[in-house]
Amino acid sequence: MIVEATNLDTLKQGNVLVDFYSTTCAPCRTMNPILDEVSKEMPNVRVVKVEVTKHPGATYAYGIRCLPTVMFLQNARVREIAQGLTTKKNLVSMLQKYVVPAAA
């Protein structure tokens, strides 16, 4: 399940894949179905979308310079970053370094 960030404190606990995006960014929109598939394959990772114009402080704090940027946080610690359009395979591989996939 993908959720829109309303409270950025939700990024501080557990395994969180954060999608920094803009509604005017075409590659960001392309990421939506990819992130949906990742959230289904890795249910023990929360997928949270952060709209950069609504959360400029988070954008600055995490050093976001291009969109889309997908960042994996584990207990508030940045573990991996993928900038630009990426694939489901790349994201799942990135997550599997830190998180065991849920049993089928």
Confidence (pLDDT) at 83: 96
Tell me: the pLDDT tens digits for 31-53? Answer: 999 999 999 999 999 999 999 99
Give all domains of the chain, ordered by start, each with its CATH number: 2-96 (3.40.30.10)
DSSP secondary structure, the chain, as one string:
-EEE-S-GGGGGSSEEEEEEE-TT-HHHHHHHHHHHHHHHH-TTSEEEEEETTT-HHHHHHTT--SSSEEEEEETTEEEEEEESS--HHHHHHHHHTTSPPPP-
Tell me: the pLDDT tens digits for 61-96? Answer: 899 999 999 999 999 999 999 999 999 999 999 999
Confidence (pLDDT) at 12: 82
For residue 104, is pLDDT > 60? no
For residue 102, is pLDDT > 90? no
